[in-house]
Amino acid sequence: MFKIYLFSILLLFGLHSFCRAELIRVYAAADLQYALKEIADLYQREHPEDKVELIFGSSGKGAAQIKAGAPYHLFFSADMKYAEELYKEGYLVTKPKPYAVGRIVVWVRKDSGLDPSKFPQILLEAKKIAIANWEHAPYGRAAKEVLQNYEVFDRVKDKLVLGENVSQAASFVYSGAAEVGIIPLSHAISENMKKVGTYFLIPENKHSPIVQGYGITEAGKNLKGVKKFYEFVLSPKAREILKKYGFMVPGEK
C-alpha cells in the first residue's frame, strides 16, 4: 500500500513538474551565436524545468518575422533600432533594454599570408571581402560605415561578398571563399575561429556604437520561464559570459 501511495506522489510530482515546464523560444542576432548559447546552457542547468530554443539570424529578418506572426518569446537585436521599432508597434511588451555593446574586427585565416593589422590596406590586397548585408544586419551596417570612414568603400565595393547575417559572413572567410572578413569580435574569439585565424580590432570611433537591445514579445508576455530568462541575461553570471566573448556590458567600461 505504501509503495502504491509513494508511486502516486512521485507521479503527481512529475506531472506537476511537466506542467510547469516551459519552452522559451528566442530569436537572436547572429553575433550572439556563441555567447547566448552558453548563457542558455547555464540557465537550463539552473532551471531544468525550462528549455531554451535559440534561433539565430539577422536582426532585421527576425523583426520582420515577428511582425509576420512568428511565435518567438524573446527578441535579441544587434542594435536598439529594431527592438525599439517592435516596441513602438506593439510587438514587444517590455521597453527594450541594452544588454551589450558589440565590436567589430578584420579577420583573416592564418594561412592566408595577410596581416589584418595592415588595415585598411589589406582590403585593397584582397580579392573578396566578406561582410554582413547592411540592409538588415547591424554589424553589416557598421562594417559599411568603417569602409566609408576610411574612404575605401568605393574602391572595394565590387569585392564585397554579403552574408545574410554575420555568421554567414564569418563562414565565407573561415572557409576561404573570401580572404578578409569584417565580423563581430564575438565570432573572432570563438574557439573555432581562434584556431585558424587572427584579427585586428577596428577602432570604435570608426563606426556608430553597436548598442544591442532585447525585450519580451507579445507571444511571451504570460510565460514565467520567459520572464526568468529575460532577467537572467543581465545577471552577473550571464554578463561574465558576454564579456568573455568580447562584448561590453551596460554599466561597465
In percent, how much of the chain has pLDDT > 90?
90
Q: What is the pTM of this model?
A: 0.89
What does the mean pLDDT of the chain come to? 92
Predicted local distance difference test score (pLDDT) of residue 19: 46
The C-alpha atoms of residue 59 and residue 164 are separated, in whole angstroms, by: 10
Q: What is the pLDDT of residues 206-217, one digit of tens each?
A: 999 999 999 999
Helices (H), the chain: 2-20, 35-46, 59-67, 80-88, 121-125, 138-149, 153-156, 166-175, 185-188, 191-196, 224-232, 236-244
Predicted local distance difference test score (pLDDT) of residue 14: 47
- Contact residues for 91 (Cβ-Cβ < 8 A; gap 6+): 66, 67, 217, 218
Cell numbers for 12, please give them.
503527481
Contact, 31 vs 184, CB < 8 A?
A: yes
**172 — phi, psi (to 5°)?**
-60, -45
Predicted local distance difference test score (pLDDT) of residue 13: 43
The C-alpha atoms of residue 17 and residue 136 are separated, in whole angstroms, by: 40
Q: What is the pLDDT of residues 158-201, one digit of tens each?
A: 999 999 999 999 999 999 999 999 999 999 999 999 999 999 99
Identify which has the larger pLDDT, 17 or 128: 128
Predicted local distance difference test score (pLDDT) of residue 211: 97
Identify which has the larger pLDDT, 94 or 8: 94
Q: What is the pLDDT of residues 39-77, one digit of tens each?
A: 999 999 999 999 999 999 999 999 999 999 999 999 999
Predicted local distance difference test score (pLDDT) of residue 10: 40
Predicted local distance difference test score (pLDDT) of residue 20: 59
| The pLDDT of residue 219 is above 90 | yes
Identify which has the larger pLDDT, 64 or 251: 64
Predicted local distance difference test score (pLDDT) of residue 250: 83
| The pLDDT of residue 16 is above 90 | no
Rounded average pLDDT over 29-39: 97
Confidence of residue 147 (pLDDT cuts 50, 70, 90): very high
List, in order of start, the domains of the chain with CATH numbers: 2-101+211-244 (3.40.190.10), 104-201 (3.40.190.10)
Contact, 77 vs 138, CB < 8 A?
A: yes
Identify which has the larger pLDDT, 167 or 16: 167
Displacement of CA 34 from its chain's centroid (Å) = 8
- Contact residues for 218 (Cβ-Cβ < 8 A; gap 6+): 90, 91, 92, 93
Q: What is the pLDDT of residues 77-91, one digit of tens each?
A: 999 999 999 999 999
